[in-house]
Structure 1
C-alpha cells in the first residue's frame, strides 16, 4: 500500500541526504530550488525518475535543490502549479491539452513516458467488459486523464457515460483499491499501479488501455508560461536531472526498484512488476511524438472533452528537448 504523506516526505528526506553525500564537495554550486509536483504518488512512471534523481544526487549535480510533492489527481496538480506550489507537474499527457484549452497557461515541456501504460483494473465480479454496464468506474478525479480513459472506454462499448455507467473521482490508489474491495467500484483506471493491485490480489487487470489508443503519450512534464520565462535555466537543469534519473532506472533495475519501493511504499515484488511495465516506455530525451499528441487532441475533441482546437504548438514547447544527458 502507499505511504502516508508524512512517511513519503520522511523517505524522500532520507533520499536527499543520500544524494548529497554522493556529490563531490569540490563541485559545490548555488542550488536553484525547483518543486516537482506528481499527479499521484502511487505510480512508478510518474514518481520514480524524480525519486531516483533525488537519491542519486543527479539534481544537485545540475545545481538544483529539487523537492517532490505528491498531489491528488490532474485537476489538483494544475491548481498547485498555477498557484506556485510546484514549478513542474508530472501528469497524464491529456492534461496540457485540456487545461490549456480551458484558458490556463500550462505548457508541456517534455514527454517522460511514451505510449500508454494505463490499465483497467476490476473486482472479482467482473469477468468481461460487458459486465461493467450499470456499474461504477473509478478515476483519480473528474477531468483527469483517467476520467478521459473511462469515457473512451464507455464510447468503445457503445454506452452513455452519463447513464449506462457511473464514472466517479475517488482519489489515489489506496482510495480506489479500498473502494474496489468494498464493492463500491466495479473497476478503476490507473497507470502502472494496476499491476501492483494485481500482485497484491485486490483486483486484476482486465485490459490495457493501449488497446483503444493506437497512438498515445502516457506522461509529460509541464510548467506555466510564466515559470518557463522566469526560471528557464532552473527548469532546464531540473529536466536534465529527471532524465538522468530515467536513464539510471533503465540501466539499474534492482537499485531503482529499491528506491521506488521505499519512496512509494509498495512491496518490492509489486514495484518490480511496475518497473517491468514502465522500463520500455521511458523516454530518454523528452522529445514529443507530435503524431500521438495530435491523435490525442482529435480524440478529446471527439469525446467532447475539448470544446475547440487550439494550434498544437500552444500546448507544448520544444525548448527543453531533446534533453542532453
Structure 2
C-alpha cells in the first residue's frame, strides 16, 4: 500500500505541474534582433530592453550588432535573426532581386536621417558652398546615409560627383578613425561619434542631414513575410513593447533616457549621451509611434531615385505592413 501511495503521489505531482504549466505559464519567446549599428539614434530600442517592456510582453530579446546594411540583411535572409533593424531601402533592394519571401517593414524606429556634417575646421559662418572643392568622406554607396547626404548636397546646388572629392571606399565601421587620422576635410557621421569629435576638437558639427532630408523610414524593424505570418502574436508583442518605449522617450527628459541607455555606450559619458538624445529629439528623429506612413515611403524612394540607386518603384502596401502597429496603438 505504501508503494501505491508513493506512486499516486508522484502522479498527482506531475498532474499538478502540467496543470500549472498549462494555466499559469506564459512561455517566454526569444526574438533575435540584428541591428545595423550601435547608436544613440536607436535609443527607444535600448529603452524597451532596459525598462523591461519586451519582458512584460513575454519576450526575451537577443540583440546583435551586425555593422552595415549588407551584413544585417544577409543575417536576416540566412535566418541568423528574426528581426532586423536597418534602413528600409534594404527591403527594396531585396525585393528588386526577386525574393520569394519579401522583407516587410512592420515598425518604424527613426524617421529622419541620423547623420551630421562634421568639418575638420571650426567654421563660424558655414554655408554649403564651403564643401565645393573639398574632400568629403562619405558613407557607403547605396546606403541610406550616403543617399540622404547626396540629396542634401544636391538640394544646395552641389554635385557630389563633380563639385567635391567624394570618398566612399572606407568601411562603415572605419569612417571615424579614417577622419581622425587625417582623411577628408568634411565627414558624414552618426552620433555619438560626431559629438565626441567635437568635444575632442577633432571636428565640428556644422549641419544636420536629418533636418535637410525630411521625414523618411530611416531605420525600421523588418522581418521576412513568412515570419510575420507564422508569428503574428510575437510581432504584436514586439511592436507593443516598442511603442511603450517610444512614448517613454517622448515623455521623459533626455537626461532620463541617457541614464537608461548608458550600459550600451560604456565609453561615452552620460552627459554626452544626454546631449545627443536631446539633439535627436529636438529635430524629431525618434518616431513617436511605430507607423511608417505613405509620405515617408514616397520620400525614401524619391531620395533613392535622386541618388540613382532606386532599382524599381515599389508600392507602399507591397513592403509595408502597418496593421500590427495600428492595432497596438488602438488598444
**TM-score, normalisation: structure 2:** 0.79
Residue of 30, 40, 46 corresponding to 1:44: 40
Q: CA separation in 1, counterparts of 2:79 and 2:162?
A: 34
Q: CA separation in 2, counterparts of 1:101 and 1:159?
A: 27
Shift of 1:297: 1.0
Q: CA separation in 2, counterparts of 1:310 and 1:184?
A: 37
Q: CA separation in 2, counterparts of 1:279 and 1:214?
A: 14
Report the equivalent of 2:148. 149
Report the equivalent of 2:301. 297
Q: Which runs of 5+ in 1 are unaligned?
A: 1-25
Report the equivalent of 1:82. 77
Report the equivalent of 2:187. 188
Native 8 Å contact 1:215 1:295 kept in 2 = yes
Residue of 48, 52, 59 corresponding to 2:54: 59
Q: CA separation in 1, counterparts of 2:160 and 2:114?
A: 25
1:267 aligns with 2:262: no
Report the equivalent of 2:4. none
1:71 aligns with 2:66: yes
Report the equivalent of 2:14. none
Counterpart mapping for 1:174-323 below 5 A? 175-193=174-192, 194-253=194-253, 254-265=255-266, 266-279=268-281, 281=284, 282-322=286-326, 323=328
Q: Which has the larger radius of gyration?
A: 2
Q: CA separation in 2, counterparts of 1:187 and 1:27?
A: 58
Counterpart mapping for 1:131-150 below 5 A? 131-132=130-131, 133-139=133-139, 141-150=140-149
Native 8 Å contact 1:192 1:278 kept in 2 = no
Shift of 1:51: 2.0
Q: CA separation in 1, counterparts of 2:246 and 2:40?
A: 11
Q: Deviations over 1:97-118 (max 9, x none)?
A: 3443344421211122234443
Across the aligned residues of Structure 1 and Structure 2, the Cα RMSD in angstroms comes to 2.7
Structure 1 residues 123, 99: closer, same or farther in 2, change over 3 A? farther
Native 8 Å contact 1:98 1:305 kept in 2 = no
Q: Deviations over 1:247-287 (max 9, x none)?
A: 22233443421232221232112100111023353333311
Count residues with an aligned counterpart: 296
- Give the 3-state SS of the residue equivalent to 2:31 in structure 1: strand
Native 8 Å contact 2:53 2:244 kept in 1 = yes
- Give the 3-state SS of the residue equivalent to 1:37 in structure 2: strand
Shift of 1:160: 4.7
- Give the 3-state SS of the residue equivalent to 1:306 in structure 2: coil
Q: Give the stretch that moved more between structures: 313-322 or 184-193.
A: 184-193
Residue of 5, 28, 31 corresponding to 1:31: 28
Q: Which runs of 5+ in 2 are unaligned?
A: 1-22
Counterpart mapping for 1:65-144 below 5 A? 65-104=60-99, 105-124=102-121, 128-132=127-131, 133-139=133-139, 141-144=140-143
Structure 1 residues 313, 68: closer, same or farther in 2, change over 3 A? same
Q: Deviations over 1:38-71 (max 9, x none)?
A: 1111x2122x222222222211110111111112
Structure 1 residues 321, 262: closer, same or farther in 2, change over 3 A? same
Structure 1 residues 278, 312: closer, same or farther in 2, change over 3 A? same
- Give the 3-state SS of the residue equivalent to 2:30 in structure 1: strand
